[in-house]
């Protein structure tokens, strides 16, 4: 019975993470409903399709997480050594998550392009950082499928660190440029300024949330890997 608390240290956080992801997914579904029923009338077909594509990728992302957890807790219930192997859905989730992040960042790059008066420099830099993050997440998945063992996860650390760093830099750049260009559009009219301030707070809060989680990912990757190794060693 002694290994059970250690196993809880692995499956417990995974369960909490899936619950949080599911809650956020539910909020996204509600936002999608409001978008198509109230706010989409003035948007073109391209943007509407893009929003639908984002929701499809987000759904796939959550589905892969649920399948992974089902694999470890139901299909291989009681099999301690199954935790030593990375199931393909868990690794594929990294690439799908990278695609989702890139799609959102590319949209924000387009917003920066529009707000800046169609200046291309910053949107191109944002796009390059975003695509680099996606490429590294795909490499992470491919190498992870080849390694297959969590014990060899140190080989994945450079790809994880580089990908998360690119994502972090991209989010900070998006937030900074959006705030700068929105602030530059302030006028002498209080009502207009209130709307601009609301947009600035929205941009700041959106990027701040993703930035916080990216920093958490960067910080906890190595401790989580060590915890997994320690758990498997005790079993």
Residue that wins the pLDDT comparison between 141 and 195: 141
Global pTM?
Answer: 0.85
| pLDDT score for 195 | 77
- Name the percent of the chain lying above pLDDT 90: 34
Tokens of 98: 């990278």
**Looking at residues 132-158, what average pLDDT do you find?**
85
pLDDT of 76 > 90? The answer is no
Alpha-carbon distance 22 to 26, whole Å? 6
- Name the percent of the chain lying above pLDDT 70: 89
Alpha-carbon distance 195 to 199, whole Å? 6
pLDDT of 143 > 60? The answer is yes
| pLDDT score for 3 | 44
Domain ranges for the chain? 3-234
| pLDDT score for 222 | 62
Contact yes or no for 72/220 (Cβ under 8 A): no
Q: What is 147-207 written as a DSSP string?
A: H-BGGGGGGGHHHHHHHHHHHHHHHHHHHHHHHHHHHHT--S-HHHHHHHHHHHHHHHHHH
DSSP at 87: -
**Looking at residues 179-186, what average pLDDT do you find?**
80
Please state which of the ranges 16-20, 87-91, 151-155, 212-216 shows the lowest mean pLDDT: 151-155
Alpha-carbon distance 181 to 174, whole Å? 11
| pLDDT score for 84 | 77
pLDDT digits (tens, 9 = 90+) for 106-134: 998 998 898 888 888 999 999 999 999 99
- Which residues touch 158 (CB under 8 Å, ≥6 apart)? none
pLDDT band at 201 (very low <50, low <70, confident <90, very high): confident
């Amino acid at each position: 019975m002694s290994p059970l608390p250690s196993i809880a240290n692995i499956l417990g956080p995974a369960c909490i993470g899936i619950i949080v992801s599911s809650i956020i997914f539910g909020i996204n579904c509600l936002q999608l409903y409001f978008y198509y029923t109230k706010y989409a009338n003035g948007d073109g077909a391209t943007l509407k399709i893009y929003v639908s594509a984002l929701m499809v990728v987000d759904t796939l992302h959550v589905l892969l997480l649920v399948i992974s957890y089902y694999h470890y807790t139901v299909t291989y219930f009681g099999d301690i050594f199954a935790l030593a192997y990375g199931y393909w859905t868990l690794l594929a989730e990294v690439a799908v998550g990278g695609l989702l992040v890139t799609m959102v960042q590319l949209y924000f790059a387009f917003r920066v392009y529009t707000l800046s008066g169609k200046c291309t420099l910053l949107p191109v830099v944002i796009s390059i950082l975003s695509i680099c993050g996606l490429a590294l997440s795909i490499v992470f998945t491919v190498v992870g499928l080849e390694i297959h063992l969590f014990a060899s996860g140190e080989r994945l650390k450079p790809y994880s660190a580089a990908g998360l760093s690119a994502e972090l830099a991209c989010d900070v750049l998006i937030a900074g440029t959006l705030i700068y260009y929105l602030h530059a559009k302030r006028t002498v009219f209080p009502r207009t300024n209130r709307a601009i301030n609301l947009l600035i707070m929205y941009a700041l809060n959106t990027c701040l949330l993703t930035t916080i989680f990216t920093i958490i990912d960067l910080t906890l990757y190595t401790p989580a890997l060590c915890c997994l190794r320690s758990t498997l060693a005790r079993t």
